[in-house]
Amino acid sequence: MVDMPEQDELVLATVKKIMPYGAFCSLDEYGDKEAFVHISEVAPRWIKNIHEFLREGQKLVAKVYHIEADKDQIDLSLKRVNESEKKMKMEGSRREKRADKLFEVALKIAKSTKSEEVASRAALVAKYGNLIDAIEALSEKGEEAIAGLKIEKGLAKALLEVAMKNIKKARAEMNGIISLTSYSKNGVEEVKRILGSVKAPAGVETELLYLGAPKYQLRVVADDFKSADKALETIVAHIHAEAKKSGAIADFAKIEA
């Protein structure tokens, strides 16, 4: 039996059949289970021709907004997915596919049996949550990352070799424009104080670039898009709070890649 996605889950879908009132899709991560996106959930504005937005074979990031398990019905929304969510989902999918390929390479090198493959994959996922995090841990920590796990010796060696050779942990970057204005007599100093109070969360790099008064570019770099997005929100909330204290006016717009 194929599992059902959860309410509000982000899923990868492929458009299979387009109708005037919506499109039938298959869910890539759920055994190509069928789902439907109504025309009203395709875009935030009225649509005259659905073919302007969708085509058969198109890959989508959608949000599950309605489920009726007893009827095996799954309804999707595209307009409820923002650019950050789309980027994070696509990046996560890309990383998962790469992890599977690297794991397959290690299996071939070690000439592992099916039972060794299943047991090793289960052990890695149980400890790290998913395969890519496990392989990245192997790259960073070496043998320490699999100490105590029940993984056949030859496969453990192959996994280490593959991880060390192929994994260079990527960093995710997000940017936004901050507009900060103070009309007090010490306005310039107040703006400097607010921006100078910005502190990067642990494991996150931040940079503020002057674009010309009153605009500044905020650059945030973290281990993944989810962490970068969260850090960006935290920093912007801090700037808004500090601006409010002194009567300054702060505005922010995210730069979508």
pLDDT at 170: 65
- Taking phi first (over 0 means left), then psi (-120 to 50 degrees means alpha), and beta for anything else, what does residue 203 get? left
Cα atoms found within 13 Å of the Cα of residue 247, Cβ hemisphere only? 6
- Rounded mean pLDDT, 117-137: 92
- Rounded to whole angstroms, the Cα distance separating 182 from 249 reads 6
Domain ranges of the chain: 10-80, 84-166, 172-255
% of the chain exceeding 70 in pLDDT? 98
Find how far residue 110's CA is from the centre of its chain: 32
- Rounded to whole angstroms, the Cα distance separating 97 from 3 reads 20
pLDDT at 203: 84
CA angle 254, 50, 5 (to 5 degrees): 65
3-state class (DSSP) for residue 218:
strand
**Pick from 80, 16, 87: nearest CA to 43:** 80
| Digit-coded pLDDT (tens) for 24-54 | 999 999 999 999 999 999 999 999 899 999 9
pLDDT at 161: 93
Statement: residue 1 has pLDDT above 60: no
| Digit-coded pLDDT (tens) for 56-91 | 999 999 999 999 988 889 999 999 999 888 988 998
Give the CATH class of 172-255: alpha beta
> Among all chains, which residue has been given the structure tokens 């929100």?
233
Statement: residue 169 has pLDDT above 70: no
- Rounded mean pLDDT, 135-145: 90
Statement: residue 2 has pLDDT above 70: no
Architecture in CATH for domain 10-80: Beta Barrel (2.40)
Find how far residue 182's CA is from the centre of its chain: 35
pTM, full prediction: 0.57
pLDDT at 167: 81
- Rounded to whole angstroms, the Cα distance separating 232 from 236 reads 6
- Residue 99, exposed/middle/buried by CB under 10 A (0-12, 13-18, 19+)? buried
pLDDT at 101: 94
Architecture in CATH for domain 84-166: Orthogonal Bundle (1.10)
Mean pLDDT of the chain: 91
- DSSP per-residue codes, 132-181: HHHHHHHHHHGGGGGTT----HHHHHHHHHHHHHH-----EEEEEEEEEE
| Digit-coded pLDDT (tens) for 195-248 | 999 998 888 999 999 898 899 999 999 988 888 999 999 999 999 999 998 899
Query: Distances from the Cα of 2 to the Cαs of 72, 116, 120, 245, in angstroms?
Result: 11, 24, 23, 53
List the beta bridge partners of residue 10.
Answer: 63
Assign 107 a pLDDT band (cuts: 50, 70, 90): very high
- Rounded mean pLDDT, 86-108: 91
Assign 257 a pLDDT band (cuts: 50, 70, 90): low
Residue 204: DSSP 8-state: -
